[in-house]
Structure 1
Amino acid sequence: MLPRIVVMGRPNVGKSTLFNRLAGRRIAIVDDTPGVTRDRKEVVARIAGRDVLLVDTAGLEESAPDTIPGRMRASSEAALRGADLVLFVVDVRTGLTPSDRAFAQWLRRQGKPVLLLANKAEGRQGAANSLEAYELGLGAPLPVSGEHGDGFGELHDEIREALPPEPQEEEEEDDADRPLRLAIVGRPNAGKSTLLNALLGEERMITGPEPGLTRDSVAVKWIDETGKPVRLVDTAGLRRRARITQALEQMSTAATIAALKECEIAVLVVDAVQGMDEQDLRIARLAEREGRAIVIAFNKWDAVEDRAAARRRLEDVLTSSLAQLRGILIVPLSAATGRGVDKLMPTVREAYEVWNRRVPTGALNRWFEDALSRHQPPLVEGKRLKLRYATMPKARPPTIAIFGTRAELLPEDYRRYLVNSFRDAFDMPGVPVRLNLRGTDNPYSEE
């Protein structure tokens, strides 16, 4: 029997938009009018590398049982009874409402695993606003955007951890036997399929000088030279959105983005002859936004005449345009000749270890105190921000939660200082680092 994931929340928080995004196609009708969904919808979907039964429900409302909203709520409660995991959705734009708090309290009593999704959290301010949802007592809120797809890589990871283990073979696997999920991404004709063939040692994918030969994401199971399993996914090349016109190419692009959200490491293949352009940077930013670790495969290295200059140009672009991934690992190689390909997987494993690393709370707070003593937080509106302590609620990617009075007002440049200091202190180059700031209320302040 497939695990059952139920999407719940009050009306108009974006449940059906999230449902469609997770399902990978438009199934539920989406509109700004509250209460569009009245009957629950079910679909078999592939989420986090597993087939699941995804259920969209009507909005939860406080109403008499004999009314339409009351019957809608009864239908949603019936869906909950068979759930293996609940996705409880709140709207960060409107903030928490009494209904959110009441239904969260009711949900805590049901004894079901719950992931708290702070929807409509586009951009940095949306992620900051999502921290209000901590008070619901359902764990750390995960900022996502059903409309734009932000945060869905981390959502897939959280779902994978929360679901019950798969039966039989998967149940017996430990972490050492679980395959590393690796996606090969990049622009058309950068050499992605050639690189996959070089890693496998066989002509698994069709290659040629024509751009766009690969039209769908193709997954291949493989054992690398260390004897460890890898799930390799070759993807279609990602072009600029303005150039995507045909329906088939739109589906190819959607499959590539889905593969990027389900992977753990993204190998970004860059044409070393042409250098890293704006589209390569967009792909890298998309991977960073989804919380994936990135390794750059600087392909066609054998065709580069001035290698020192090419390497300097690449590092200058990364420094100026991808500062949030400072220290990203680069492997110059030639997929066509095989030269340098043997260095790629050790580098990928190195990036994975960094991306998966946890820092003990004691060491984290020693770093935090030292960072504050070296550079005090600035005044905001004439008042000093009092940052008290830090925790690391999760890795994959490394995530720091900082608590203190008015911590959410911390300026952007000081946030970058903390992230860069954290990278240097714990040797975490080239992986996304999440910084969550949670302010504490002053009981003596006026309402």
Structure 2
Amino acid sequence: MVTIAIIGRPNVGKSTLFNRLVGRRLALVDDRPGVTRDRRTGEARLMDLTFEIVDTAGLEIAGADTLEGRMRAQTEAAIRAADLCLFMIDVKAGLTPQDQDFADLLRKSAQKLVLVANKAEARSSEAGLIDAYAVGLGEPVGISAEHGEGMGELRDAMVEALGREAFRPTRAPSQRRSDEDDAASSGDAADGDEGEEPIEAYDATKPLRMAIVGRPNAGKSTLINRFLGEDRLLTGPEAGITRDSISVEWEWRGRQIKVFDTAGMRRKARVQEKLEKLSVADGLRAIRFAEVVVIVFDVTVPFERQDLSIVDLIVREGRAPVIAFNKWDLVEDRQALLADLREKTDRLLPQIRGVKAVTVSGETGEGIDRLMRSVAETHEVWNRRISTAKLNQWLERMLAKHPPPAVAGRRVNVKYMTQIKSRPPTFIVSTARPDALGAAYTRYLVNGLRETFGFFGVPLRIALRKPQNPFAGKKKRSS
């Protein structure tokens, strides 16, 4: 598929155009400059054209060791990889010396170029459109990314630059799946239907969706770069570098993995700025789309209150959690710390007893393969289904070993149990008195399920339901 990158200085409307082309609000948009920091990709559609679009950070002149310099390096990598660059300028603000500098850079680095004059809907834009010719990149295409004006002219300019044969024909909307469209939707795509699912063998070759979450500066982006073997995501000593939830694809042992990097999650009371709220909301959407969520703990300060809150959120969402104790290369007395981490994991996270916890180093790559093995094993448990016959044989033994409590002198009668879905494993217990069974007995059943069927480290859900009376609501026949 042809790759097109949107390039320009900060705050010219690159992310707004990206969202319009992918048809969803995937990229964060704000009035302040410099919101986008990493490269974000998506499958775009413009009339009869389908292509991959890349949103980039605003080009800025800065030293290589600064955050802005590292952002620029990411954008320059996108320029080199793209088949076509859309160089965007803001005609409302007029041409700037910065635009001229970056036009010179693109002339040397980009394979093909189209000059895009954004915000052309404004009455004051005519002078800016005329000035745009001074860039020396041909005739500017006047558009309004926000209002969708000029999209036909942009399509024609792209075809003229690359040729119609370079673009794949568009598919029907029902067949399209953009790179991150499901992550942006509010629905829970991974949950599946509530009805009975056929029991089939686990397929270890199917693609897997994984999100990386944690507090700011825990090393999430560094860990993903280690997965990929390249500096794909922006990293550095500054906390809170990542803002968008960026998805990248890679392959582990022949299996396709789509991994989402997310913004660091702080306590709600500390999140004041609108932009950070948007970043956290974007991360929550990525969690709901993911199947396995890797929670990255900074091993130098593990089990902060926010770490425990993040784990609790993952469990409530029903995702399959795996804990990665990152920065293991900084630990000296490893044996003593390892014993302490195991004890605290069991004590502080009882809701996911047996959760996989792996020590890793995003800097050196230590433990990466162990982490991915844990991800695959947890994903298999999360997808596990038990037949109704086996469940009820097990239930009989559990009831005989520890009968339900007697309430007001009457024993609670448990009729049967069935698994209605996986992802996460969810069960229904049929009993005439659901309210009388109690939370303690439900925990007894949950612990028994974990022990007998190996449901360790994933959320388990048990719903108590009263069986339906087939004669309820029917009138008695008169004799």
| Equivalent position of 1:46 in the other structure | none
| Equivalent position of 1:281 in the other structure | 308
> For residue 185 of structure 1, what is the amino acid of its counterpart?
V
> For residue 203 of structure 1, what is the amino acid of its counterpart?
D
Unaligned ranges ≥5, structure 1: 1-22, 26-48, 52-151, 163-173
> For residue 237 of structure 2, what is the amino acid of its counterpart?
P
> For residue 260 of structure 2, what is the amino acid of its counterpart?
V
> Structure 1 residue aligned with 2:341, among 287, 309, 314?
314
Helix, strand or coil: the match of 1:440?
A: coil
Unaligned ranges ≥5, structure 2: 1-23, 27-41, 45-184, 196-201, 473-479
> Structure 2 residue aligned with 1:198, among 194, 211, 226?
226
Structure 1 residue 340, shift from structure 2 partner: 1.1
Contact 1:275 1:310 in 2 (8 A): no
Q: Determine the C-alpha separation between the residues in 2 that align with 1:222 and 1:363.
A: 38
> Structure 2 residue aligned with 1:347, among 371, 374, 384?
374
Structure 1 residue 383, shift from structure 2 partner: 2.1
Structure 1 residue 275, shift from structure 2 partner: 1.5
Specify whether residues 310 and 181 from structure 1 end up closer, same or farther in structure 2 by C-alpha distance, changes over 3 A only. Answer: same
Structure 1 residue 380, shift from structure 2 partner: 2.4
> For residue 401 of structure 1, what is the amino acid of its counterpart?
I
| Equivalent position of 1:414 in the other structure | 441
Structure 1 residue 335, shift from structure 2 partner: 0.9
Structure 1 residue 202, shift from structure 2 partner: 0.6
> For residue 390 of structure 2, what is the amino acid of its counterpart?
A
CA displacement, residues 415-437 of structure 1 (integer Å, 9 cap, x when unaligned)? 11100100000011100001011
Normalising to structure 1: TM-score of the pair? 0.60
CA displacement, residues 146-179 of structure 1 (integer Å, 9 cap, x when unaligned)? xxxxxx99843346899xxxxxxxxxxx977652
Q: Determine the C-alpha separation between the residues in 2 that align with 1:334 and 1:434.
A: 33
Helix, strand or coil: the match of 1:283?
A: helix
> For residue 330 of structure 1, what is the amino acid of its counterpart?
A
CA displacement, residues 123-164 of structure 1 (integer Å, 9 cap, x when unaligned)? xxxxxxxxxxxxxxxxxxxxxxxxxxxxx99843346899xx
Q: Determine the C-alpha separation between the residues in 2 that align with 1:212 and 1:434.
A: 34
Q: Determine the C-alpha separation between the residues in 2 that align with 1:329 and 1:159.
A: 24
> For residue 347 of structure 1, what is the amino acid of its counterpart?
S
Specify whether residues 412 and 262 from structure 1 end up closer, same or farther in structure 2 by C-alpha distance, changes over 3 A only. Answer: same
Structure 1 residue 374, shift from structure 2 partner: 1.0
Q: Determine the C-alpha separation between the residues in 1 that align with 2:242 and 2:193.
A: 28
CA displacement, residues 320-368 of structure 1 (integer Å, 9 cap, x when unaligned)? 3321100000111111111111211111000000000111111111111
CA displacement, residues 5-46 of structure 1 (integer Å, 9 cap, x when unaligned)? xxxxxxxxxxxxxxxxxx989xxxxxxxxxxxxxxxxxxxxx
Please report the RMSD computed on the Cα atoms of aligned residues, expressed in angstroms: 3.0
Q: Determine the C-alpha separation between the residues in 2 that align with 1:153 and 1:322.
A: 27
| Equivalent position of 1:266 in the other structure | 293
Q: 1:369-384 residue pairs with structure 2 within 5 A?
A: 369-384=396-411
Structure 1 residue 200, shift from structure 2 partner: 0.6
> For residue 212 of structure 2, what is the amino acid of its counterpart?
I
Specify whether residues 159 and 369 from structure 1 end up closer, same or farther in structure 2 by C-alpha distance, changes over 3 A only. Answer: closer
Contact 1:386 1:407 in 2 (8 A): no
Specify whether residues 236 and 311 from structure 1 end up closer, same or farther in structure 2 by C-alpha distance, changes over 3 A only. Answer: same
Q: Determine the C-alpha separation between the residues in 1 that align with 2:262 and 2:322.
A: 16
Specify whether residues 360 and 153 from structure 1 end up closer, same or farther in structure 2 by C-alpha distance, changes over 3 A only. Answer: farther
1:229 aligns with 2:229: no
Quote the sequence identity (%): 47
Helix, strand or coil: the match of 1:424?
A: helix
> Structure 2 residue aligned with 1:186, among 175, 192, 214?
214
Q: Determine the C-alpha separation between the residues in 1 that align with 2:422 and 2:25.
A: 26
Q: Determine the C-alpha separation between the residues in 1 that align with 2:462 and 2:193.
A: 22
| Equivalent position of 2:70 in the other structure | none
Specify whether residues 316 and 374 from structure 1 end up closer, same or farther in structure 2 by C-alpha distance, changes over 3 A only. Answer: same
Q: 1:46-445 residue pairs with structure 2 within 5 A?
A: 155-158=188-191, 178-224=206-252, 226-440=253-467
Name which of structure 1's ranges 402-411 and 329-338 shifts more when overlaid on structure 2.
Answer: 402-411
Q: Determine the C-alpha separation between the residues in 2 that align with 1:380 and 1:179.
A: 49
Name which of structure 1's ranges 256-265 and 319-328 shifts more when overlaid on structure 2.
Answer: 319-328
> For residue 225 of structure 2, what is the amino acid of its counterpart?
N
> For residue 190 of structure 1, what is the amino acid of its counterpart?
A
Q: Determine the C-alpha separation between the residues in 2 that align with 1:215 and 1:186.
A: 13
Specify whether residues 393 and 339 from structure 1 end up closer, same or farther in structure 2 by C-alpha distance, changes over 3 A only. Answer: same
Normalising to structure 2: TM-score of the pair? 0.56
Helix, strand or coil: the match of 2:431?
A: strand
| Equivalent position of 1:136 in the other structure | none
Structure 1 residue 382, shift from structure 2 partner: 3.2
Structure 1 residue 310, shift from structure 2 partner: 2.3
CA displacement, residues 360-405 of structure 1 (integer Å, 9 cap, x when unaligned)? 1111111111111111111223321100111011111111111021
CA displacement, residues 32-75 of structure 1 (integer Å, 9 cap, x when unaligned)? xxxxxxxxxxxxxxxxx999xxxxxxxxxxxxxxxxxxxxxxxx
Contact 2:191 2:423 in 1 (8 A): no
Q: Determine the C-alpha separation between the residues in 1 that align with 2:242 and 2:188.
A: 27
Helix, strand or coil: the match of 2:456?
A: coil
Structure 1 residue 209, shift from structure 2 partner: 1.2
Specify whether residues 160 and 234 from structure 1 end up closer, same or farther in structure 2 by C-alpha distance, changes over 3 A only. Answer: farther
Aligned length: 290
Of structures 1 and 2, the one scoring higher in RCO (CA 8 A, sep 6+) is 2
Specify whether residues 324 and 425 from structure 1 end up closer, same or farther in structure 2 by C-alpha distance, changes over 3 A only. Answer: same
Q: Determine the C-alpha separation between the residues in 1 that align with 2:25 and 2:312.
A: 21
Q: Determine the C-alpha separation between the residues in 2 that align with 1:423 and 1:259.
A: 27
> For residue 209 of structure 2, what is the amino acid of its counterpart?
R
Specify whether residues 176 and 344 from structure 1 end up closer, same or farther in structure 2 by C-alpha distance, changes over 3 A only. Answer: closer
Contact 1:206 1:213 in 2 (8 A): yes
Contact 2:205 2:254 in 1 (8 A): no
Contact 1:408 1:438 in 2 (8 A): no
Contact 1:408 1:439 in 2 (8 A): no
